Amino acid sequence: MSTTGCKGISTSFNIFVDPVIVSAPTISQNGGTLSILTTPGGGGITGYQWLIDGLEISGATNSNYSQRKMVLT
């Protein structure tokens, strides 16, 4: 309680905003490097996790993702 008789109240919450891919994923040739870059779709992004087929890619937690020796199928 403050000296004026008022109580302070605070709360925290999460806001989830989907990132936007800013460059099309490209592979120049079989065995080449895949590079993808994202930018927040509204700000406030504090973390990333890249997925493949719905599963987390271990260590892929930055706004960009690169993978060498990709094979086109």
Q: 15-67, pLDDT tens digit by residue?
A: 766 666 666 666 667 787 788 777 666 556 667 888 888 899 999 998 888 88
Structural domains of the chain, count: 1
> Which value, in Å, is the radius of gyration of the alpha carbons in the chain?
20
Tell whether 36 is covered by a domain: yes
Exposed / middle / buried, residue 37 (Cβ in 10 Å: 0-12, 13-18, 19+): middle
* Token pair listed for 56: 């987390």
> Range of 28's domain?
20-70
Specify the pLDDT at position 56: 94
Per-residue pLDDT, 12:
85
pTM above 0.75, yes or no: no
With respect to residue 55, please indicate whether it lies within any of the assigned structural domains: yes
How far apart (Å, rounded) are the C-alpha atoms in residues 49 and 38? 11
Residue 34 lies in a domain: yes
Q: Is residue 4 part of a domain?
A: no
Which phi and psi angles does 69 have, rounded to 5°? 55, 45
